[in-house]
Structure 1
Amino acid sequence: MAQTLLKVDNINVFYGNIHAVKDVSFEVNEGEIVTLIGANGAGKSTTLKTISGLLHPKTGDVLYKGKSIKGVRAHKIVEAGLAQVPEGRHVFLHMTVEENLDMGAYTQPASTIAPNKEKVFELFPRLKERRKQLAGTMSGGEQQMLAMGRALMSNASMLMLDEPSMGLSPLLVQEIFDIIQNIHKEGMTILLVEQNAQMALSVADRAYVLETGRVVMDGTGAELLTNERVRSAYLGG
């Protein structure tokens, strides 16, 4: 039986008076890809930011490896092995690819940096070719690869990806999803928030559907891909 790595337990999150996330509960087991799908404003990114420690739930709890991380500062959560690739990539535009990767390793002992960087370069050969290039001169797809590589430099055991395909051409979306599956095959547990429900469900072991801040449905990726309600709402079926 796979161990539960992340457990989100009945969290409620507010922006001022706006109740953005309502009694949301779900779990991610070790070695899974779990996806959260839903329309814009459904509460997906807010949920990830709460797990990452960038927002705090008013009630409820977030457990990572069996310990509460509610109220723990964001950099300590990264140190514990939970890294987020933010929506919009947020790479350091005026720094080189290599400098961006080094920034991802700021919680790690110096001895791990070189071997981790080699692993990132194996996964993303294009980053190796461009290691001296300024991140701001790269395409959106390359910046997405860099944001993922930077998160992997933290020696994470679980990766949270917020809208990795946003703004990318269909060809690049396919490439990014191939990379997500490769990272997963290497043993990484992944929590994926993604607007492209078709792609997300096709790679996910399990999925949760969020609507206006609540979980309204869950199941395996395959089940939700064929679910009539999901098809009409999110898959253009």
Structure 2
Amino acid sequence: MLKVDDINVYYGSIHAIKGISFEVNQGEIVTLIGANGAGKSTTLNTISGLLHSKTGSISFMGEPLSKVPCHKVVSKGLALVPEGRRVFLQMTVQENLEMGAYTRSGKGVDEDLEKVYARFPRLKERFKQVAGTLSGGEQQMLAMGRALMSQPKLLMLDEPSMGLAPILVEQIFEIIQNLHKAGTTILLVEQNAQAALSVADRGYVLETGKIVTSGTGKELLASPAIKKAYLGG
């Protein structure tokens, strides 16, 4: 579904992503794990078209993305839930969700709104509330709901557990698993390696802009080197 081939990304003279290649197949949860600054968010931003690679290619559903402007990437079926949530703080919950459907014509939007409310009952309770007054966990749910409103074929999540209390982290990962069961393909970037590998079909480990190892979620969870570096074992 998604194929990333030999991308190199620079911030000025800083070589942030160094020739990485990976793929995501339909129906999978694939996770990118690594320490802060390893290049995980940069990779997602490059796939989304917010950053550009000097080399290589990115294709989605067999179609190259390199010349597609970032606002058009969403209408191709790729949605990013950005790091730090980035909800529209001055808008209500419902307005935020409606913004998620801006690439669609009116058909089916109300139906999908009800589906999002069914998946996130907390948002339904607060649909008239201004997003800036929600808790961190509620804002994360809103950011995910907003992305789902674009009817993504692939949902990219950037650090969904960041800054959340452990009980909320559990809830968010439960939601990720439920979305996956409902047929959404997911690319997950996460510093909480334990949680990410527990739900992932496959994982890639990034260190300073390079993929250093990959395997199934189970294999990586069981690997002594991964345990030592990322799981506090």
Whole-Å separation in 2 of the counterparts to 1:144 and 1:121: 14
Amino acid paired to 2:220? L
> 3-state DSSP class of the match of 2:140?
helix
Q: Of residues 187, 192, 197 in structure 2, which corresponds to 1:196?
A: 192
Q: What is the correspondence of 1:83-98 to structure 2 with a 5 Å cutoff?
A: 83-98=79-94
What residue is the counterpart of 1:10 in the other structure? Answer: 6
Alignment-derived partner of residue 164 in structure 1: 160
Match for 2:217 among 218, 221, 231? 221
Shift of 1:111: 1.4
Partner of 2:95: 99
Matches within 5 A, 1:43-82: 43-82=39-78
SS of the aligned residue for 1:131 comes to coil
Partner of 1:201: helix, strand, or coil?
A: helix
Measured after TM superposition, the shift of residue 71 of structure 1 is 3.0
SS in structure 1 of the partner of residue 9 of structure 2: strand
* RMSD value, Cα: 0.5
Partner Cα distance (1:111, 1:28) in 2: 29
Q: Is the 8 A contact 1:56 1:71 kept in 2?
A: no
Deviation at 1:170, TM superposition (A): 0.3
Equivalent in 226, 232, 235 of residue 231 of structure 2: 235
- For residue 52 of structure 2, give the secondary structure of its aligned residue in structure 1: coil
Give the Cα–Cα distance (whole angstroms) in 1 for the partners of residues 105 and 209 of structure 2.
Answer: 39
The answer to whether the aligner puts 1:211 opposite 2:207 as a matched pair is yes
Distance 1:20 1:84 in 2: 20
Which 5+ residue runs of structure 1 have no aligned equivalent?
A: none
Unaligned runs of 5+ in 2: none
Number of corresponding residues: 233
- The aligned counterpart of 2:19 is 23
1:132 aligns with 2:132: no
Stretches (4+) displaced over 6 A:
none
Counterpart of 2:140 in structure 1 is 144
Amino acid aligned to 2:65: I
Hey, what's the Cα distance between the residues in 1 that align with 2:54 and 2:184?
Answer: 30
TM-score by length of 1: 0.98
**Alpha-carbon deviation of 1:112?**
2.1
TM superposition shift of 1:75: 1.2
In structure 1, how many angstroms separate the alpha carbons of the residues matched to 2:12 and 2:108? 41
Output the amino acid matched with 2:79: A
Cα deviation per residue 1:6-46 (whole Å; 9 max; x = unaligned)?
00001000000000000100000000000000000000000
Counterpart AA for 2:197: L
- SS of the equivalent of 2:72 reads helix
TM-score (norm 2): 0.99
Identical aligned residues as a percent: 69
